[in-house]
Chain A
Amino acid sequence: MKSYIAFTTKEFTEQLRTHKALIMFTVFLLFGIMNPVTAKLTPIILEMFMPEGVEITLGDPTALDSWAQFFKNIPQMGIFVLAIVFNGLMANEFTKGTLINILTKGLSRSTVILSKFSMAILLWTASYILCFAVSYGYTIYFWSNDIVYNLLFAVFVLWLFGVLIISLLLFGGVLFKNSYGSLLLTGTTVVIMFLINIVPILQKYNPVLLSSSNMDLLTGKMQPSDFTASIIVTTALTMTFIVVAIPIFNKKRI
């Protein structure tokens, strides 16, 4: 336990010194501001650039438009930034050989995996909450949030999807020992999940549901109970990736 805390602290220091924490926080903070801004400004910009005489009727933006931006930007750009920032999580240790010293001093290999996993989750959670809080603040400042259902649940399922991506990045890093392999595995898995999504019966079990159907939750078209199967599958997958990563890492040469 002592070594776990020490190694996790070391991981945080590393994220600070390599400016990765800074990138996560600023980019997600910017997303948080941009979501309501885009919703608010789109009609005005369209009006400005419309040629004379062309009439289009756009309803006034509502809180739903702001959240639509949120659930469009975070699954795409947000998850992309997450993958870029954390793709070297395991791989850099292999390529730089920085683990050799601590592992020969007796740190267990499972501690390395678990520490890195918890550090990445904490950093992702913190920046995600920051993004959500800022979006929420601006949204209630401009509009009424009364028409929005299940907001916290929709935000939670997207967070869970992010955790799945982190576990995939970690698993890929252990498996291929370089950052391209880690990114490739994550990318391929996401593509496969989208392909599976074509089959209607499998849709409700697919983790992709957590990042693509959030707006249906907000409008009340879907209920939280529709997500149960997908949440169970996602949690199981996340745990499997981490549990399987440990024995694979034990066999790898550093």
Chain B
Amino acid sequence: MTDLSQLIEYLPFLIPIFALELILAITALVHVLKHPTYKFGNKAFWVVIVLFIQIIGPVVYFIFGKGNE
């Protein structure tokens, strides 16, 4: 079996997983940019965390990093 056909076989998984990760990352990114007060860290730090650590990054931001207005 070639790699490509194997990839296509797993598309029913990969697309939803990728879409969910994207939704989380983008919601978190928008929030990071619009609300520049954090419990700790600065804007650049949270942008990196949210974009490059999948799933965990946005979750950590919303639970621990988001500042209180």
In the complex, chain A residues 8-49 whose Cβ is within 8 Å of any chain B Cβ: 18-20, 22-23, 26-27, 29-30, 33-34, 37, 41
Taking CB atoms, residues of chain A closer than 8 Å to B17 are 30, 33-34, 37
- A86-112 contact mask (Cβ, 8 Å, vs B): 1 or 0: 000000000010000000000000000
**Residue B20 interfacial (CB < 8 Å):** yes
Cβ contacts under 8 Å, A85 to chain B: 63
Task: Tell me whether chain A's interface is mostly helix, strand or loop, or mixed.
Answer: helix
**Contacting residues, chain B, for A30 (C-beta < 8 A):** 17, 20-21, 55
Count of chain A residues with a beta carbon within 8 Å of a chain B beta carbon: 19
* Cβ distance B66 to chain A, nearest Cβ, rounded Å: 8
Q: Majority SS of interface residues in chain B?
A: helix
Residues in chain A near residue B24, CB distance under 8 A = 22-23, 26
A84 in the interface, Cβ–Cβ < 8 Å? yes
CA distance A23 to B20 in the complex (A): 11
Are A18 and B62 also in contact (CB < 8 A) when A26-B23, A33-B16, A37-B13 are?
yes
Q: Mark B10-37, 1 if CB is under 8 A from A, else 0.
A: 1011001100110110010001000000
Other A-B pairs beyond A26-B20, A34-B17, 5, CB < 8 Å: A19-B62, A23-B24, A23-B62, A84-B63, A138-B13
19 sampled A-B residue pairs with Cβ under 8 A: A18-B66, A19-B27, A20-B63, A22-B24, A22-B27, A22-B62, A23-B24, A23-B59, A26-B20, A26-B24, A29-B16, A30-B20, A30-B21, A30-B55, A33-B13, A33-B16, A33-B17, A37-B13, A84-B63
Residues of A within 8 A of B (CB): 18-20, 22-23, 26-27, 29-30, 33-34, 37, 41, 81, 84-85, 96, 138, 141
A-binding residues in B (CB < 8 A): 10, 12-13, 16-17, 20-21, 23-24, 27, 31, 55, 58-59, 62-63, 66, 68
